[in-house]
Amino acid sequence: MTTTSDGGAGFPWPRMESVLAHQAVSAVHEAVAANTAVHTAEISDLYARDMLVLWPSISVGDTHIDTCLEGDRWAERLTTHAGQNGDRWTDVARHYRRTAVAAARRATWMLTTAGVVDPEFAVVVRDEHGSDELLRECLTPTQLRRRDPRLHRRYIAEEALRALSGDARIAALVRTLADDAADPGLHRSAHSMLADLGAPAAIAMAEELRLFSLAPNGSLAPQRMLSVLEETRTTDDRAIDTLLAIVGDDRVPPRLRADVGACLSWLNQLGRTAPLLDLLPDDLVCDVLGAPYLRETTNGPLNYRPLEQAIVATPRFDEQLFLRLSATRIHRIRSADVSTATAALSSPSRFVRRHAAIVLLSVHV
């Protein structure tokens, strides 16, 4: 039996795990009592984004059990907790998924040790996208091999990557991420492992991106690497300088320059990136300038200063960015951002004023 560790600034994750596990156990008991053939139970419909958490559903065979009042209260409690404590929603979602997996493992252990179900029975988890990542974490290697040989082969490949260490591990992970022919699930695993390695991985990926930028071949690898770089939230000078070199190189395709520039901008490097955007089309420049303000996720405190400086240098971008704003999009903010947004209501930039107003509106949604 595996449980989660308490995390998320004191939220009682183990108690939430216990509630979900016992709901799954209760659902299986009801199915068994009704003489239903039970091979698997599924915890699904996990939702933790857009500043909202929803309690998952539980299915046993063809029977689908909707959320209960107790579960809805836990979801409301987690939503409130995340909003009040300023946790990044990516962290909240990660804790939530881990808790669901731990609940599934606990429920499986409770049911199999009690002899209620066959030893091969398992409670599994699927996220709102229906991916198999969480399902795999709920199964033993033997169960995985019997239920899904393809997924088991990926598991073996992942274990081989985890067995490596140091530079060899980083190099193997970067090669995996760069390989368009690799299993998409293995891409996701390499992404997660590289993100956890921090600065050394960021440096390696930046250097690999530099190679791709000098010999572009239509690969999707740069997008995968940029996604990992953003998740590392790197501030390493070597990685940042390598990325800046890509943006400033007019031999690099404009779209890739802009994508790398947007990554840098989101990594709080807009002040150093904006002067390198010469000769890029206006729409790509706006992709870079708007990255810290128009995406669903943020990286650190709200800061309009580098954007205002870029707009002063090239005023036409103010209106173009303004047209990208939507009053219906909720912005996830920290409590410290309220004073920044309030002060920005008097900014000379039309975009900044409107963005600040939407941010303040988000406080009340």
What pLDDT, in 10s, does the model give residues 134-166? 888 898 888 888 888 888 898 899 999 999 999
Instruction: Average the pLDDT over each of 7-16, 176-185, 353-362 and give the range with the smallest value.
Output: 7-16
User: Comparing C-alpha atoms, which of 175, 244, 165, 161 is closest to residue 204?
Assistant: 175
Pairing relationship of beta strands 63-65 and 40-49 according to DSSP bridges: unpaired
Q: Does residue 180 lie within any of the structural domains? A: no
Residue 48 covered by a domain: yes
| DSSP string of 215-277, one letter each residue | S--S-SHHHHHHHHHHHHT---HHHHHHHHHHHT-TTS-HHHHHHHHHHHIIIIIHHHHGGG-
Mean pLDDT throughout 247-259? 96
Stronger pLDDT, 118 or 37, i.e. the higher one: 118
Residue 50 confidence (pLDDT) above 80: no
**Residue-level pLDDT at 362:** 75
Least confident residue range of 119-133, 201-215, 232-246, 284-298? 119-133
Q: Is residue 344 part of a domain?
A: yes
Give 281's DSSP letter. Answer: -
Is 252 within a domain? Answer: no
Dihedral angle sign, alpha carbons of residues 267, 270, 272, 273: positive
Report the domain count for the chain.
Answer: 2
**pLDDT score of 236 more than 90:** yes
Residue 1 lies in a domain: no
> Number of C-alpha atoms within 13 angstroms, CB side, residue 100?
32
User: pLDDT value at position 365?
Assistant: 52
- The answer to whether the beta carbons of residues 59 and 77 sit under 8 Å apart is no
Say if residues 350 and 319 touch (Cβ distance below 8 Å).
yes
What region does 218 belong to: left with phi over 0, alpha with psi -120 to 50, or beta?
A: left
Q: Could you list the residue range(s) of the whole structural domain that residue 52 is in? A: 13-147
| Amino acid letter, 110 | M
Q: What is the pLDDT of residues 81-108, one digit of tens each?
A: 876 655 567 788 889 999 999 999 999 9
Kindly tell me the burial class for residue 328, based on how many C-beta atoms sit within 10 Å of its own C-beta (0-12, 13-18, 19 or more).
Answer: exposed
Q: Write down which residue in 125, 147, 169 finishes a domain.
A: 147
Provide the percentage of residues in the chain whose pLDDT is more than 90.
65
As a whole number, mean pLDDT of residues 108-114 equals 94
Q: What is the pLDDT of residue 87?
A: 54
**Higher pLDDT residue, 64 or 341?**
341
Domain end call among 101, 118, 147: 147
pLDDT in the model for residue 93: 84
Q: Determine which helix (DSSP H) or strand (DSSP E) holds 48, and give its type and residue range.
A: strand 40-49
In a domain, 224, yes or no: no
Evaluate whether residue 95 is within a structural domain.
Answer: yes
Please say which residue of 131, 147, 163 terminates a domain.
147
pLDDT at 131: 67
Question: In the chain, what is the straight-line distance between the N-terminal and C-terminal CA atoms, in Å?
Answer: 39
Residue 277 lies in a domain: no
* Tokens matching residue 37: 């053939």
Residue 35 pLDDT greater than 90, yes or no: no
| 321 half-sphere exposure, CB direction, 13 A CA radius | 27
So what's the pLDDT on residue 227? 95
Which residues share a beta bridge with 122? 40
| 213 Cβ contact partners less than 8 Å away, ≥ 6 residues apart | 222, 246, 249, 252, 253, 256, 257, 260
Higher pLDDT, 108 or 361: 108
CB 296 within 8 A of CB 335: no
* pLDDT for position 129: 66
**pLDDT tens sequence across 125-138:** 987 666 677 888 89
What is the maximum span of the chain, computed from C-alpha positions, in angstroms?
73
Of residues 6 and 12, the one with the higher pLDDT is: 12
- Region 184-208: what's the mean pLDDT? 94
